Structure 1
Amino acid sequence: MNEGPSRSVRGIGDPPAAETDDIGRRGEPASAESPSSSSARAGSRREAFEPFELAAVLSHYDTGVIEQIREFPRGSSKSPKVVIRCERGEFLLKRRAPGRDDLRKVNFSHAVQLHLGARGFPLARLVRERRRHNTLLSLNGRVYELFEFVNGSAYDHSRELAEAAGRELAGFHRNLADLHPDWSPPAGSYHNSSRIQAHMEVIPQRVGASGAEGAALPDVIAGLQRRYTEAARRAELAGVADWPQQVIHGDWHPGNMLFRGPQVIAVLDFDSVRMAPRALDIAGGALQFSISMQGDDPDIWPIELDEDRFLAFCHGYDRVSGCTISTAEIEAVPWLMIESLIVEAVIPIAATGSFATLEGGAFIRMVGRKVDWIESNARRLADLIAAG
């Protein structure tokens, strides 16, 4: 796998494979393993298919003769995946994790993907099961999906691919502007969330830091709370609450894309699709494709965004016909970025005390420094987009 030179974290920058819900391959394939039962993998926290489960599920699909099945240990450890090579091609079978298997949300996600696929949008296409031609299979209380497997490369941190990602987001929004699905879309977003304070309050005890850094953590959290509230206020002043709502991706970051050359060849993971103003996707994507992280220690990561990539992403979006970023949206982008950055960090740290494999206290301090930088440069960042 080729993940580029920087340290990667899910949802902020370019995530590691173990934290990404990929339906495709980046660079070299993962090591081939035969499917094995969860019980046979003592000490492992990653779920796996039982052989009889695989046989039962695959009997519902027209795959033809199966040549090889190998584990695909990516994404949520509670959602097992295998790559299937067969006479009809390569596919990825996924069992949805508990809590991510709500049929209403899954069906809405599938409606979005089918709509996009019919319009030629790049994604890993869903495969219908044989009997009822549904795109999901509910069997023995579990929910399964089968996708075409896509070969592609990871984001290389280049300006060129940042621009391609912005351009593809514009295509995503344009293609979905007229979608009126039968299934009720999920609600809620990172903007002006009433729940974020409760998550922040539990972080000091979850992290359990000691010494001077532990003593200072409540002040860091309090500072983030103030900045989140102020960023939400500034975004509201720009008019976010009054902007049209449409289907947004909700998780537009490098780990959810596969590239080939200068193009996005597949957008992945539609689990966060929902109705919201498109600016939330624009700001979230601009953050994700411009944030800089190097090494394993968040305390020494650069605080500034990569402005070349930031501008490339925004200009890639803005230059697509019918997708001009409005003056009001430009004003809101830096403040929405602050909200997105805080929420992306706070929720997993509040739940586990860490961010992926990184210590939660160090990660929160890093977020505080980056938020300070964005806040101090908000006017200039907006002016840079407007001048493009």
Structure 2
Amino acid sequence: MGAPTGEFSQPAAGWDRFHSKEIAKVLSHFDLGVIATIREYHRGSRRAPKLRIRSDRGEFLLKRRSTERDSAERVRFCQSIQKHVASCGVSTAELIPTRGNADTLLELDGRRYELFRFVEGVRYTRTEAQAQEAGFALAQLHAALTTCRAVGQMPDARIHHNQHAHAALSRIPEAVAYANPNFDRTMLMQALDRLRGRLEMAEHKAAKCGYDSLAQQPIHGDWHPGNTIFRATDPVTVIDFDSARQEPRAVDIANGFVQFTLRSRAAADPLEWPVGLDPERIQAFARGYTAHTRWTAEEAAIIPWLMIEAIVGEASVPIAREGSFAGISAERVLVAVANLLDWIGDRSRAIAGI
């Protein structure tokens, strides 16, 4: 491997970072040729820093796994999922093995690293065509995963009856008060009461509709636009299997219904965000999935309630940790979330009937 001949860009504030000696030591384990540029790549978790590397052998993405949550066995589980679906024809970002022993997990100085071939593509622009592609890609992924026998440690995570979400809701007042002593306590507590009410109802409805009887299989676990790469003529490329786990496939479908159909939230104030999901993109996502694989009536009945459970977890956990949501006022975000949960709950029959 040649020494870097180009530039190394500095990271943005708040992101974990690589150090120069660390980079040189890690890259010495891979055969990348002559490196031209190394740039910080700010996508995904801030606790898992990434570098975009260009060399005479192509472009690559180096990722340091979070030491807080990712044991070696957990990483191997996620990698085995990715390798299996790739062998079944699903487009993924190729895992690059280390020099010599051909291992795709590098363990060095108590840290764990993965190197991927970088995949160029376009961002999700909220079109019906892209939503339909995302639905089809998810169905293709699920079909491949039905024959997967993953190795390693399966992550301990779930959407239904997610105790982390309940714990987060309890911690939010203290976290928000610490981050912003001038917060609107009345607004926050009323929003939390609405979230708890919707969450408890969703858990009850999902259980009543037969969640525990649904077949479980490996799933992606984090199906959203940031983990799908769209290209003009090629199939959608699926990335980031870090949340892969064993759950009913309806969990991925419910998350996709939310993530690929949210309306634009360009306004700075969450209270000005449009309420609800885009019905046309919901229909498009469903058309894409069912063009490959049909879901059952039992799964359809449960999907709206899993959507609500997923949203509560997505919003509550980071606020309980940071006291805000990506730097935005926690209480105003939670009111917007509660409005979205009301919208879904009030239309649960229509969503289940898609």
Calculate the TM-score normalised by the size of structure 2.
0.92
Question: Residue 313 of structure 1: which of 270, 282, 285 is its match?
Answer: 285
Relative to structure 1, the CA distance from residue 377 to residue 45 in structure 2 (aligned partners, 3 Å threshold; closer, same or farther) is: closer
Q: Secondary structure at the match of 2:61?
A: strand
1:250 aligns with 2:224: no
Which of 300, 317, 323 does residue 347 from structure 1 map onto?
317
Q: CA deviation at 1:211?
A: 7.9
- Are the equivalent residues in 1 in contact too, given 2:318–2:325 (CA < 8 A)? yes
Cα distance in structure 2, aligned partners of 1:301 and 1:112? 37
Alpha-carbon distance between aligned partners in 1 of 2:196 and 2:210, rounded to the nearest angstrom: 21
Q: Could you say which residue in structure 2 is the equivalent of 1:304?
A: 276
1:148 Cα deviation after fit: 0.1
1:261 aligns with 2:261: no
Match of 2:53, SS? strand
Equivalent position amino acid for 1:280 in 2 = V
Which amino acid is the alignment partner of residue 236 of structure 2? I
Query: Of residues 163, 168, 179 in structure 2, which corresponds to 1:194?
Result: 163
Q: CA deviation at 1:98?
A: 2.3
The AA in structure 2 aligned to 1:97 is: S
For residue 98 of structure 2, the aligned residue among 122, 129, 146 is: 129
Residue matched to 1:364: 334
* Alpha-carbon contact 2:164-2:317 (below 8 Å) kept: no
Which deviations, in whole Å up to 9, do the C-alpha atoms of 1:171-194 show, x marking residues without a partner? Answer: 110001011123242233121123
Return the letter of the residue paired with 1:310.
Answer: I
From 16, 24, 35, the equivalent of 1:66 is: 35
- Contact 1:165-1:264 within 8 A present in 2 as well: no
Contact map agreement 1:304 1:373 (CA 8 A) in 2: yes
Counterpart secondary structure, 1:275: strand
Q: Distance in 1 between matches of 2:275 and 2:231?
A: 30
Looking at structure 2, the residues matched to 77 and 157 of structure 1 have their Cα atoms a distance apart, in angstroms, of: 25
* Secondary structure in 2 matching 1:365: helix
Aligned to 1:34: 8
Q: Which moved more, 1:355-364 or 1:216-225?
A: 216-225
Identity among equivalent positions (%) equals 39
Aligned to 2:344: 374
Q: Counterparts of 2:135 and 2:119 in 1: how far apart (Å)?
A: 21
For 1:250, the aligned partner's letter is G
Q: Which residue of 1 aligns with 2:300?
A: 330
Number of residue pairs aligned between Structure 1 and Structure 2: 346
Between the aligned partners of 1:314 and 1:134, the Cα distance in structure 2 is: 38
Partner of 2:277, secondary structure, is: coil
Amino acid corresponding to residue 240 of structure 1 in structure 2: Y
2:187, 2:331 within 8 Å by CA — same for their partners in 1?
no
53, 62, 74: which one pairs with 1:84? 53
Residue 335 of structure 2 aligns with an amino acid whose one-letter code is R
Which structure 1 residue ranges, 5 or more long, are not aligned? 1-31
Residue pair 1:35, 1:82 contacting (<8 A) in 2 also: no
Q: What is the CA-CA distance between 1:33 and the residue it aligns to? A: 5.0
Deviations 1:335-369 (A, max 9, x none): 11111111110111111111113221111000101
Select 1:106's aligned residue among 62, 71, 75.
Answer: 75
| One-letter code aligned to 1:301 | W
Local SS of the residue matching 1:150: coil
Which of 126, 130, 137 aligns to 1:168? It is 137
Are the aligned partners of 1:164 and 1:262 in contact in 2 as well (CA < 8 Å)? no
**AA at the equivalent of 2:289:** Y
How far apart, CA to CA, are the structure 1 residues paired with 2:46 and 2:276? 32
Alpha-carbon distance change, 296 to 232 in structure 1, aligned in 2, over 3 angstroms? same
Partner of 1:295: 267
Q: Is the 8 A contact 1:35 1:50 kept in 2?
A: no
Shift of 1:212: 9.4
Distance 2:16 2:214 in 1: 42
Larger CA deviation: 205-214 vs 84-93 = 205-214
**Does structure 2 retain, via aligned residues, the 8 Å contact 1:290–1:310?**
yes
Distance in 1 separating the partners of 2:300 and 2:290: 11
Q: Distance in 1 between matches of 2:133 and 2:280?
A: 13
* Partner of residue 86 from structure 2, selected from 111, 117, 121: 117
Conserved? CA contact 1:35–1:51, under 8 Å: no
Q: Any conservation in 2 of the 1:161–1:263 contact (CA below 8 Å)?
A: no
Distance 2:162 2:13 in 1: 35
Q: Which residue of 222, 225, 236 corresponds with 2:196? A: 225
Aligned partner (choices 264, 275, 279) of residue 246 of structure 2: 275
Alignment partners' CA distance in 2, 1:378 and 1:262: 35
Q: RMSD over aligned Cα, in angstroms?
A: 2.0
Cα displacement (A) at 1:381: 1.8
User: 1:194, 1:157 → 2: CA distance?
Assistant: 32
CA distance in 1 between counterparts of 2:97 and 2:159 reads: 33
1-structure distance, mates of 2:181, 2:96: 51
1:110 Cα deviation (Å)? 0.5
Amino acid at match of 1:333: I
Tell whether the 8 Å contact from 1:34 to 1:71 is kept in structure 2 after alignment. yes
TM-score, normalization by structure 1: 0.84
Structure 2 counterpart of 1:227, which letter?
A: R
